[in-house]
């Protein structure tokens, strides 16, 4: 009985604390950013940038495109920092807030070669939020699975950003996540 | 007291000790105002690449560094009103640092400035890295600051790493700014 009580105390204590972020607990999650930890560190985003505190799906910060921001803040990581080997397929997901059918944007997923910045990207795919974000005016999770080309190496960079298509009202995105989808 | 009674008595303490030291109390608690392990900053910033490295990291794969060629790191700058919904009196900064030798006394600068004159702080303090010893490995430093009375919601909090009198490269990771409130 004594041992049971002590064991229960430990189990209950651990359970009450919960786990860390999903990027820490799920080995298939290669990256997850809610943009909180870059807030305050980017001088160009301090006043009126894409990084904003107007709306957020989690925390206080999200990124946006609108009439004055054609492109959002971009997330970019070398594949070598994401995974030890080349993944075959990746699922890119995000939470987006599209105000109405006239304010449309896309999430762009690209793979580029940093040694050839002017060359055509190895991969460039768009996730049209006009098709994916209905109903409008609320946060919705969107996702896209990409096939990573065979010639992608550890120095190639995965880039994710939002691109305004039409309208001037702000379209928001938060909680970018990259997951193995092999 | 028997062992059984001792365990029964300690049960509530064991349940909460690991997660929330002030569990069940809604008054004063440590609130996290800012944290960065510099992973996302490296991914989102084109301007700070010279101050971030994958040579060493306390967590993840990225840390911030200063050396003779890069004496100042990326700077954190935020209005106090965006961090707190009240007038803060005392803030605490925690960071992990990797200092090669006792001669490498880089510092973390914590300053306050008014937006009308952001380059002339009204308050500035240094967190020194060498007094605690432990060189050539990661160690945690932590310091609290009493804020002056003449601050307001628009006063900017400024944080950065400065090479100062150090001789070699000094690394830092996992910054946390907290307030007891």
Please report residues of A whose CB lies closer than 8 A to that of B19.
13, 16-18
Model-level pTM?
0.79
Position B13 pLDDT exceeds 50: no
- Residues A119, A123, A126, CA angle at the centre, nearest 5°? 120
Please name the residues in contact with B100: beta carbons below 8 A apart, sequence gap of 6 or more. B135, B136, B168, B169, B170
Q: What pLDDT, on a 0 to 100 scale, did the predictor assign at position B21?
A: 44
Tell if the CB–CB gap between A44 and B75 is shorter than 8 Å.
no
SS3 B19: coil
Average pLDDT score over residue span B44-55: 87
The alpha-carbon gap from A73 to the nearest alpha carbon of chain B, in Å, equals 7
Identify whether A132 is part of a domain: yes
Q: Which two tokens stand for residue B48?
A: 């700070």
| Residue range A49-92, pLDDT digits in tens | 899 999 999 999 999 999 999 999 999 999 999 999 999 999 99
Please report residues of B whose CB lies closer than 8 A to that of A73.
44
Q: What is the CATH number of the domain that holds A69?
A: 2.60.120.260
Task: State the DSSP H helix or E strand holding residue B142, giving kind and residue range, or none if neither.
Answer: strand B138-146
Please report residues of A whose CB lies closer than 8 A to that of B35.
36-37
Q: β-strand B170-180 against B30-36: which pairing, if any?
A: antiparallel
Identify whether A14 is part of a domain: no
Cα gap A161→A101, rounded to integer Å: 20
Identify whether A4 is part of a domain: no
* Contact criterion met (CB below 8 Å) for A5 and B8: yes
Q: Which domain holds residue A34?
A: 28-180
Task: State the DSSP H helix or E strand holding residue A111, giving kind and residue range, or none if neither.
Answer: strand A104-112
| Residue range B50-102, pLDDT digits in tens | 899 999 999 999 999 999 999 999 999 999 999 998 999 999 999 999 999 99
Q: Which residue of A has its CA nearest to B8?
A: A5
* Contact criterion met (CB below 8 Å) for A103 and A161: no
Tell if the CB–CB gap between B19 and A16 is shorter than 8 Å.
yes
Counting the structural domains of chain A, the total is 1
Q: Which domain holds residue B67?
A: 29-180
Q: What pLDDT, on a 0 to 100 scale, did the predictor assign at position A2?
A: 40
Identify whether B47 is part of a domain: yes
Counting the structural domains of chain B, the total is 1
DSSP code string of A155-179? TSEEEEEEEEEE-SS-EEEEEEEEE
Q: How confident is the model at residue B20 (pLDDT cuts 50, 70, 90)?
A: very low
Q: Which of residues 50-69 of A touch B (CB under 8 A)?
A: 53
Q: What is the CATH number of the domain that holds B57?
A: 2.60.120.260
Identify whether A124 is part of a domain: yes
Q: What pLDDT, on a 0 to 100 scale, did the predictor assign at position A169?
A: 94
Cα gap B56→B98, rounded to integer Å: 9
Identify whether A22 is part of a domain: no
Position A48 pLDDT exceeds 50: yes
Which residues of B make CB contacts under 8 Å with A?
3-4, 7-8, 10-11, 14-19, 34-45, 47-48, 54, 61-62, 74-78, 82
Identify whether B8 is part of a domain: no
Tell if the CB–CB gap between B41 and A41 is shorter than 8 Å.
yes
Identify whether A18 is part of a domain: no
């Amino acid at each position: 009985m004594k041992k049971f009580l002590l064991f229960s105390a430990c189990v209950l204590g651990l359970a009450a604390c919960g786990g860390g972020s999903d990027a820490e607990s799920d080995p298939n999650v290669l990256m997850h950013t809610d943009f909180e930890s870059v807030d305050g560190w980017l001088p160009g985003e301090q006043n009126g940038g894409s990084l904003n505190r107007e709306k957020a799906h989690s925390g206080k910060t999200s990124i946006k495109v609108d009439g004055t921001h054609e492109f959002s803040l971009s997330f970019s990581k070398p594949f070598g920092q994401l995974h030890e080997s080349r993944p075959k397929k990746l699922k890119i997901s995000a939470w987006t807030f599209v105000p109405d059918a006239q304010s449309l944007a896309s999430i762009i997923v690209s793979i580029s070669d940093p040694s050839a910045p002017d060359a055509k990207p190895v991969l460039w795919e768009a996730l049209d939020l006009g098709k994916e974000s209905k109903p409008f005016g609320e946060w919705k999770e969107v996702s896209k699975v990409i096939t990573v080309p065979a010639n992608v190496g550890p120095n190639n960079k995965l880039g994710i950003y939002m691109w305004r298509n039409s309208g001037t009202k702000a379209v928001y995105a938060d909680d970018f996540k990259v997951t193995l989808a092999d | 007291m028997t062992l059984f009674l001792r365990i029964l008595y300690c049960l509530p303490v064991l349940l909460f000790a690991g997660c929330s030291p002030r569990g069940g109390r809604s008054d004063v608690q440590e609130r996290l105002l800012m944290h960065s392990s510099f992973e996302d900053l490296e991914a989102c910033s084109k301007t700070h690449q010279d101050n971030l490295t994958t040579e060493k990291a306390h967590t993840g794969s990225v840390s911030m560094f200063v050396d003779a060629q890069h004496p100042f790191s990326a700077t954190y700058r935020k209005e106090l009103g965006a961090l707190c919904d009240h007038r803060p009196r005392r803030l605490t900064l925690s960071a992990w640092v990797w200092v090669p030798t006792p001669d490498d006394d880089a510092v973390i600068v914590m300053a306050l400035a008014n937006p009308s004159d952001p380059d002339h702080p009204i308050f500035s303090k240094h967190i020194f890295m060498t007094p605690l010893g432990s060189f050539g490995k990661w160690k945690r430093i932590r310091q609290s600051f009493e804020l002056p009375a003449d601050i307001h919601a628009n006063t900017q909090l400024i944080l950065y790493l400065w090479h100062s009198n150090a001789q070699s490269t000094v690394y830092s990771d996992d910054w946390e700014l907290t307030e007891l409130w």
